[in-house]
Each structure stands twice: as C-alpha cells, then as structure tokens.
Amino acid sequence: MSMEALLWAEGQIAGGSQSRFVLLILAGCADECGRADVTCAKIAALTEMREAQVRAAFRQLRDRGLLENPLLACGDGVYRLTMASAETLRTSALDEIREAS
C-alpha cells in the first residue's frame, strides 16, 4: 500500500460514489508509482458491487484522466493511477496544513 497513492486519490473528484470507492480500492492496492495489481473480481468483492459496475467505474476514472489503460473486461489486470509525484503530494499537503493554521 502506498500512502502517496491514498493521499492522491483522496484529493481527486472521481465523478460519483462508486467511482470514488473503486479509486480508493485501487489506491490502497497501488505501489508508490501508482501501479495496482488487482482483479476486477476482487474489487467487486471488496466493494460489494457487480463487476459491470466496477467496469463502469474504470471507464469513468479513465475518462476523467485518473486511470491509465484500465482493463475493461474483468480478469487479471494491472492498473496505473495517473498520480502526481510523491514530492508534489507532500508539498501540497504541507501547503494545505499551513493555510489551515
């Protein structure tokens, strides 16, 4: 699990609750480069969504530029989040903390 991916996903507008849930699951499975090795069936089981709903969320995330080349047919897949570098995330998080103070 990558904290950078989770922080990045938390700040994104996914376009709906199902897409957000799928994005957060992908981020929870992602490495520091945003690469998540997880199946559509596993995401469906974790979210209690149908696989068709997960595929629709993949499409929405891809259309919003948050996911690169999602595998639209369920099966084994590797997904890549289009997240910013970890340094950019840390800087943004620090700026938000400073503004809140």
- The per-residue pLDDT for range 25-72, each reduced to its tens digit, is 999 998 888 888 888 899 999 999 999 999 999 999 989 989 886 554
Domains defined along the chain, listed by start: 3-96 (1.10.10.10)
Which residues, 6 or more positions from 79, have their beta carbon under 8 angstroms from its beta carbon?
A: 26, 35, 36, 38, 58, 67, 68, 69, 70, 71
Strands 67-68 and 78-81: antiparallel
Global pTM value: 0.74
What integer best gives the mean pLDDT of the chain? 80
What residues form DSSP beta bridges with 37?
Answer: 78
- CA–CA separation, 85 and 91 (whole Å): 10
The predicted pLDDT at position 32 comes to: 83
